[in-house]
Homo-oligomer: A and B are copies of this chain.
Amino acid sequence: MNDQEQREFDKNLENLRLELRRGTLVLGVLSRLQRPQYGYSLVEELGARGIAAEAGTLYPLLRRLEAQQLLESVWETSGPKPRKYYVLTAQGKVMLGLLTAEWQEITKNMIGLLREE
């Protein structure tokens, strides 16, 4: 593999890794928002737990989930910086349960596939 091919390979790898991570961000966010938390702290916590998320990805995601009524938010303005706290709604809790089950199913199937030679 020459340099050119190596760069192609690396680009494809990044792309495929990206696709693999896809969707897990939502599940991660929902699982964390069983307790109220604000966006910036979510980025930090998920990052610390191995789930890197760009702020530019997370904020639109939170707003989307709120629009879907899976989250609700309140502004906390008493501190030095205004923070928008999000937390799961009742629907959000149900969704978290369903997606967790789906995730476990997918994981089970993938393990079956990957185990064989």
Tell me the smallest distance from the CB of A44 to a CB of chain B, in Å: 14
* Size class of the A contact interface (CB-based, 8 Å): 35 or more
Q: Are B114 and A103 in contact (CB under 8 A)?
A: yes
Given contacts A22-B22, A103-B20, contact A113 B12 (CB under 8 A): no
Distance A106 CA – B51 CA, assembled complex (angstroms): 8
- Chain B residues lying within 8 Å of A99, measured Cβ to Cβ, are 13, 16-17, 20
- Chain B residues lying within 8 Å of A1, measured Cβ to Cβ, are 91
Tell me the smallest distance from the CB of A58 to a CB of chain B, in Å: 15
A residues in contact (CB < 8 Å) with B: 1, 5, 8-9, 12-13, 16-24, 26-28, 31-32, 34, 49-51, 68-70, 91, 95, 98-100, 102-103, 105-110, 112-114, 116-117
